[in-house]
Structures are given as C-alpha cells and as structure tokens.
Amino acid sequence: MAYDAIIIGAGHNGLAAAIHLARKGWRVAVFEKNSEAGGAVRTREVTLPGFRHDLFAANLNLFAGSPFFQAYREELTRHGLGFVPTEHCFATAFPDDRWFGIGKDLEATVSRLESFSRKDAETWRTLLADFGSDAPHIFGLLGNPMPSWAAAGVVYRAWHAKGLAWLLDTGKLLASSPRAWLDRTFESEHVKATLAAWGMHLDFSPDIAGGALFPYLEGLANQSFGMVIGQGGADTIVKAMTAYLTELGGEIYVENEVKQIRVAGGRARGVELADGRSVEASRAVIANLAPQILFGKLLPDGAAPKPVAERMRSYRNGPGTMMIHLAVDALPNWRAGEDLKRFAYVHLAPSMDAMARVYQDAVAGIIPAEPVVVVGQPTAIDPSRAPEGKHILWLQVRTLPGQPRGDAKGEITGADWDSIKDAVADRVIDIVERYAPGLRSQTLGRAVFSPTDLERENANLIGGDSVNGSHHLDQNFIFRPVPGWSRYRMPVKDLWLIGAATWPGAGVGAGSGFMAAKMLAGR
C-alpha cells in the first residue's frame, strides 16, 4: 500500500489533518491502534444499556468555534454533526450552601455577582464590554502556528488597534497565575474560586504562572457565547469527521497499530504495522501522538538528532485524572439550590487555597484528601443520552497522582490504581454527597476510569494526564512541545507531530491538525 500521507492516530486532530489533505487531493490513510476512532473524544455505554457517557472530553466549545469547523461546517453537518447549546454553563457549589454560576444571561450573572460583591458585578460588566474587541486578537494568536508571520501579524494588528498599553496588559495576563489575576481583579473569594477552577481543568493550580488565561477565557467566552456539547454524545464530531473523510476517499484503519516509522535517507518513508505489513508514504508521515511515544518507541534509534530526541522523550506530563461515570435516577439534589440542576458543569472546588493543596499533593504522589470534582450534567441539556426520565453524570476528578505513593488521609493503601481506584471513587462520591445528599441512593450504575485506565484507553494520556502534557510556560507557546520544534515539522524530513502535546495544546479544537495540514498543503 502507498499513500501521499499517513496519519498515526485517529484522534480529532489526526482526522482534521486527514480531511484537509484529502480535500486538497492527497491520498490519505489513518492508522489507529484502538478499535474505534476518536482518541480522547469517545462516547460509550459503560454503566448500563441506553446510558451514553462521554468517556473523557465532553465540552465542544473549542470545536464549534474553531477555524476547522468554520471551514467544514456544511460538510460535517451534512454527515450528522449536531451541537446542543446551553445557556447555563458552569457554577461552583460551596460548603456554606451558596453558589455562583455563569451563563449567557448577563443580568442573571450580574445579579448573582451582586449578592457577593457589587464591585465585582461592575468589574464583570467592564471585562465583558472589553472582551468583544479583545477576543479576536487573543483567539487570533491561539489560532496560528507558533511562531509564524501570521502570529506576528496578529500582534501587530493588536498593537495598531489597541495600543502598546493593551499589549503589555495582555502579556501580563498571559504570564500571570490564576490567583494573581483574580486577586487584582475581584474581591469575592467565592467568585475567585469559581473562575480559578478552570485552571484545574489543565494543570494550573492557583499559584502557577501562565494559568490566568484559562479562567479569563472560559468565564468571558461562556458569558458571551454559552457552551455546547455534542448531540447524543461528544462522538458526534468523530462520526461526522470519519464519514466525511471516507467520502473524500480517505481510508481509516482501526485495530492497526503502527510499530515503527520507516526512515531512509533522512526522510520518513512510511510505517511498519504490528502485523508486519509495510505502508509507504510519499509526502508525509503525521504522528498524532505524545512526543515520548514518537521519539521513544516509533522512531528508529539515531533517526533524529540525539539532543532533540532526548528533549522529546523528557516531555513533562501533568497530574493524573480520574473519570467516574454514573447512571442515575435523577439529577443531584444540590443543597445550594435547585437552579444548579440546569448547569452543564458544577465544580466542587471550595477555595483557591484548597485547590493549591490538592495540586501540591498530586504532584508529590499523594492522593488528596478532597480532590477537585467537576460534576458534568449532560442530560440536563441533552436528554437523549439516557432512557426517558433517567440521567447520566460525568465526574472528572482533578488532580491525582499518575503513580500514587500515599494518601493524605492515611486511609487508602496500595501503590497501584487497579487496587485502589474504587476506594478513591468512594471518597469522591462522599464529597459529592455532602453537596448533593442522596446521590448514592439515586445511582443505578457506575464505571470508574483511574489514571492507569485512561492510559490503557489512550496511550497518549500518560499517567492519566488527560491533556497530554503540562501547559506551564516552559511547555507552552513557542516551547510546546520543546523549544525549537513548535511548528509541527520534526527533525526527520517529512515527519510531522500534531495533537494536544503541540501548540495550541489541549482541548477539542482541531487546531494543530488543521494548521499542520494547511502548512503541508500550502494553504
């Protein structure tokens, strides 16, 4: 078999690259180790029949707003892609039975803010008013290769439109920790904690430099545009992408593991499959993989310069994640108020100090006494995911050690996740029960995916790191995945690296796959 391009890994970035190249006339094949495409975007009945759970990623905001979707909206929609919008985006329930949440209704958000701080309500209006003119420049930077003349053009246009002071303020935001930005912007600790929880979706505890951007963007983007999830499951995008790629003549081979990339004459020439077959690529081999896998397992020794290979193999992962999926009789009975049942996400992260302790425990190998819990309520928005009258809950536990060495409470013993995951899941359910009594009695089925299980499901999620690598400043922007190699081309000619380990990082936005494919195709 011979193709113009071979893509290793059928995650959404790999599929985006394949679609764009196929649209430009390239003959493309995608090889996937697992039995289904999707990578970290998969939906499956893991508790009971009829209950469809997003195994890992659930929020499709980035995809809905991505340049890739804007380019292929008509085709993907024709192949069944469907979004379900929600105006009630995210909230935090607090131990004092208060809550704060953000949705598209500005006056509702401001009213809730005023109950905590009138000054914060005024600040929010000001931030939102500025966001309309600020966001295009920020998203423009995130939507271009790093570095590139296009990115430089975004900065130049921002300087011309907004002035030097705005550029300096934005640079300060990009370098700030969540706590630094939140402390200088808001006065209510409840409001600060609600926004800071978004940093924990990546690997930004409140005191990590470079983390302020994510609470800022999530808060204001959700206020401005709302949130979307996939109709029937996040895999709606995968189904549509695979169908469209097939229509274009692209080929997808699941349960076809790539064992080695063939390199000859300093160029990537194709791949060797686990079953012994050899597949040729005349123009490019694109790896939608973690750098450690590409440079530690698939490239022959000596194919890449030793210093680069060593840095790639030393790429640093963030803490682990646990996913708990519940089939339930009803949505949680939130003590803080019935209105919380309408929100896509409810965070259980009581303060910035609590989040900082959780993160520090996790990176030290300690199971936190009270980890951060993200309670996703997708059937509050899309009832089709469960039988009539029933619901599912998506519980993401942040953050946990990839390899546990102890327990902050001294109750859980064991050094491997297979033996302790249910005990940790029980602790998490206990936490949710404090905020929503009766959850256990409402539960019909449960499926627990430990950090080890996440890596088994997707080898790129090393140590259960659901975002494929730390986003701290030394591994972000022009340093992602390592300095000098942020533009997808690798030191082996015709070899490319895409995925969450490359710029612009984690999230279901198809950014790296689309940008790399455009660079390959010339447009």
Q: Which two tokens stand for residue 244?
A: 């469209």
Contact predicate 506/468, CB 8 Å: yes
Please, what sign has the CA dihedral across residues 63, 67, 70, 73?
negative
Measured over all CA atoms, what is the biggest interatomic distance in the chain, rounded to whole angstroms?
68
- Mean pLDDT in residue range 153-169: 95
Claim to verify: residue 275 and residue 330 sit in the same structural domain: no
Claim to verify: residue 321 and residue 452 sit in the same structural domain: yes
Q: What is the CATH number of the domain that holds 502?
A: 3.50.50.60
Which one of 165, 193, 228 terminates a domain?
Answer: 228
- Mean pLDDT in residue range 487-496: 98
How far is Cα 513 from Cα 499, in angstroms, rounded to an integer? Answer: 7
Which one of 228, 254, 271 terminates a domain?
Answer: 228
Preceding amide of 147 cis, omega within 30: yes
**How far is CA 463 from each of CA 8, 239, 401, 416, 476, rounded to the nearest angstrom?**
21, 28, 8, 12, 20
| pLDDT value at residue 148 | 95
- Mean pLDDT in residue range 92-114: 98
* Nearest of 338, 458, 473, 452 to residue 402 by alpha carbon: 452
* Nearest of 196, 233, 443, 228 to residue 333 by alpha carbon: 443
| pLDDT value at residue 280 | 98
**pLDDT tens-digit readout, 382-432:** 999 999 999 999 999 999 999 999 999 999 998 899 999 999 999 999 999
**Is pLDDT at 1 greater than 80 in this prediction?**
no
- Mean pLDDT in residue range 470-490: 97
Q: How many C-beta neighbours within 10 Å does residue 45 have?
A: 17
Q: Which two tokens stand for residue 222?
A: 């959700």
Claim to verify: residue 215 and residue 261 sit in the same structural domain: no
Contact predicate 61/139, CB 8 Å: no
**pLDDT tens-digit readout, 308-358:** 999 999 999 999 999 999 999 999 999 999 999 999 999 999 999 999 999
DSSP state of 48: S
Mean pLDDT over the full length of the chain: 97
Instruction: Decide if 96 is inside a domain.
Output: no
Claim to verify: residue 175 and residue 294 sit in the same structural domain: no
**DSSP for 115-133, written as a single string:** TT-HHHHHHHHHHHHHHHH
Instruction: Decide if 238 is inside a domain.
Output: yes
How far is Cα 271 from Cα 176, in angstroms, rounded to an integer? Answer: 43
Burial group, residue 234, by CB count within 10 angstroms (0-12, 13-18, 19+): buried
Claim to verify: residue 49 and residue 149 sit in the same structural domain: no
Instruction: Decide if 486 is inside a domain.
Output: yes
Claim to verify: residue 444 and residue 482 sit in the same structural domain: no
Claim to verify: residue 123 and residue 207 sit in the same structural domain: yes
Domain that residue 515 falls in: 2-83+233-316+469-521
* Nearest of 241, 181, 232, 167 to residue 210 by alpha carbon: 181
Q: Name the band, by pLDDT with cuts 50, 70 and 90, for residue 164.
A: very high
How far is Cα 367 from Cα 360, in angstroms, rounded to an integer? Answer: 10
Instruction: Decide if 99 is inside a domain.
Output: no
Q: What is the CATH number of the domain that holds 353?
A: 3.90.660
**Residue 166 parent element (H or E):** helix 164-175
- Mean pLDDT in residue range 268-279: 97
Contact predicate 419/450, CB 8 Å: no
Claim to verify: residue 307 and residue 333 sit in the same structural domain: no
Q: Give Cβ neighbours of residue 114 (< 8 Å, ≥ 6 apart).
A: 121
Claim to verify: residue 408 and residue 378 sit in the same structural domain: yes
How far is Cα 517 from Cα 397, in angstroms, rounded to an integer? Answer: 34
Instruction: Decide if 95 is inside a domain.
Output: no
SS3 string of 482-495?
CCCCCCCECCCECE
Q: Domains in the chain: how many in total?
A: 3
Which one of 188, 209, 228 terminates a domain?
Answer: 228
How far is Cα 415 from Cα 25, in angstroms, rounded to an integer? Answer: 51
* Nearest of 312, 311, 295 to residue 303 by alpha carbon: 295
Q: Which two tokens stand for residue 372?
A: 């951060």
| pLDDT value at residue 415 | 84
Instruction: Decide if 89 is inside a domain.
Output: no
> Helix %, strand %, coil % for the chain, to 5?
45, 20, 35
Give the E-state strand segments of 428-487 in sequence order: 443-449
How far is Cα 514 from Cα 16, in angstroms, rounded to an integer? Answer: 6
Q: Give Cβ neighbours of residue 269 (< 8 Å, ≥ 6 apart).
A: 262, 263, 280, 281, 285, 494
**pLDDT tens-digit readout, 191-235:** 999 999 999 999 999 999 999 999 999 999 999 999 999 999 999
Instruction: Decide if 48 is inside a domain.
Output: yes
Instruction: Decide if 462 is inside a domain.
Output: no
How far is Cα 480 from Cα 465, in angstroms, rounded to an integer? Answer: 16
- Mean pLDDT in residue range 1-11: 95
Claim to verify: residue 121 and residue 218 sit in the same structural domain: yes
DSSP state of 317: P
Claim to verify: residue 401 and residue 433 sit in the same structural domain: yes
Report CA dihedral (204, 207, 211, 217) to the nearest 10 degrees: 100
Claim to verify: residue 289 and residue 332 sit in the same structural domain: no
How far is Cα 465 from Cα 447, in angstroms, rounded to an integer? Answer: 19
